[in-house]
Amino acid sequence: MAEVDITKLKYSIKAFFSSGEVMDLTGLCTSLTWGEEKDSIAQKAEIKLANIKIDKGYISDLIELCTQIVIFVNKQEYFRGIVWDWSYTSALEKELSFTAYDKMIYLTQSKGNTYYSSGKSTQFLVEDICKEWGITVQYEWESWTHGKTPLKDMEISRQLTTVLDEAQTKLNSKYVMLFEKDTLIIRKKGSNTDIYYFHGKNVESTTDRLTLQGLVTKVLVYGKSEEDKRPPLLKTVNGGLEYGVLQEIITKDSNKTLEDAEKEAQNILKEKGKPEESISISTIDVPIMRKGDKIKLVAGNLSGYFIVEGVTHDGFSKTMELELERI
């Protein structure tokens, strides 16, 4: 298990301008958080600066939209993004606030329209989608051979998740997608080498919540229907019926065998067949922590190994908030 001494963590933030000039903003920073939200695929930083006047003018005149922002801890880079939202408040404090995102934000804001014939691997599809956008991909996950794949009128990020999610339903493995510097990494969840251990001494608080919302306890596998006829029921796959019948339907197309469809049904039950649990903890900051990492936790009613589904680092309190999923 790796150890972190928060007393030795030194946070800094710098702006990189198109002119090539670099400005250290650390001394002006009044608030600094960054990380990855559970339901977002772009890493985000939220920063507040004192808007003082220097030789070249006020900070609010120098930090503009698209200014590159890099966050360092002990001189190692942990976030790289561009200013996307900018806000200046002219009050007694004269404070500049902005939100920066990594390059994935462009893929969430841009749409594409493409189609792939059957027989392409997951890795090929991901790399081909990113190729058009000049994004380097480091693919470290498994692949599935896909059927016909229409990706029409959807955000580029959703094209990627559509392909990866389909593969995930077929494979006994979960992926995580994130940027490291300017490279898109696709790797298996929980594949990190260093596994950090959080326990009562370094965990400030824990929250654990359960709900039946979104639960699936039965999956019906149908074949394709002819004209207006009812599709034939090929297979019923039952899960935890002690929670009642909550039913999902999948259709076996010509590119799938019945065995493939059954495996897909089993994967749906594996993914959604238990009550949804929402777990969060507040603990000391580990700057290297990313979405998809595996941790060990013993605190409150929580004990075992968990996957990080969301993380927010706070550079001032030297704490972080983690959203977790049980392994």
pLDDT tens-digit map of 262-285: 988 998 998 899 999 999 999 999
Whether pLDDT at 241 is above 80 = yes
Task: Please state, in angstroms and rounded to a whole number, the distance separating the CA atoms of residues 41 and 62.
Answer: 28
pLDDT at res. 2: 58
- As a whole number of angstroms, the distance between CA 88 and CA 83 comes to 13
Q: What's the mean pLDDT in 96-100?
A: 96
Q: What confidence tier does 3 reach under pLDDT thresholds 50, 70, 90?
A: low
Please tell me if the domain spanning 6-101 has the same topology as the one spanning 107-188.
Answer: no
- Whole-angstrom Cα Rg for the chain: 23
249-263: average pLDDT: 87
Q: Position of tokens 């200013």?
A: 83
Identify the CATH number of the domain defined by range 107-188. 3.55.50.10
Q: Do 288 and 304 touch, CB atoms closer than 8 A?
A: no
Predicted confidence (pLDDT) at residue 1 exceeds the cutoff of 60: no
Q: pTM score, two decimals?
A: 0.85
Query: Which amino acid, one-letter code, is at 258?
Result: L
Q: What is the Cβ-side half-sphere exposure of residue 83, based on CA atoms within 13 angstroms? A: 22
pLDDT of residue 90: 77
pLDDT confidence tier of residue 91, bands split at 50, 70 and 90: low
From CA 14, how far away is CA 65, in angstroms rounded?
Answer: 15
pLDDT over 90 at 7, yes or no:
no
Q: What is the mean pLDDT of the chain?
A: 93
Question: 187 in helix, strand or coil?
Answer: strand
Instruction: Give the start-to-end residue ranges of the domains of the chain.
Output: 6-101, 107-188, 196-210+276-326, 218-272
Q: Which CATH architecture has domain 196-210+276-326?
A: Roll (2.30)
The span from the CA of 229 to the CA of 251, in Å, is 14
Q: Would you state the structure tokens that stand for residue 37, as one six-digit string? A: 């939200």
- Sequential DSSP letters for 213-237: TT---EEEEE-PPPTTSPPPEEEEE
Return the pLDDT at 93. Answer: 63
Question: Which tens digit of pLDDT belongs to each residue from 51-90?
Answer: 998 888 899 999 999 999 999 999 999 999 999 999 998 7
Q: Which fold has domain 6-101?
A: Phage tail proteins - horseshoe like beta roll fold (2.30.300)
Residue with token string 């991901």: 126
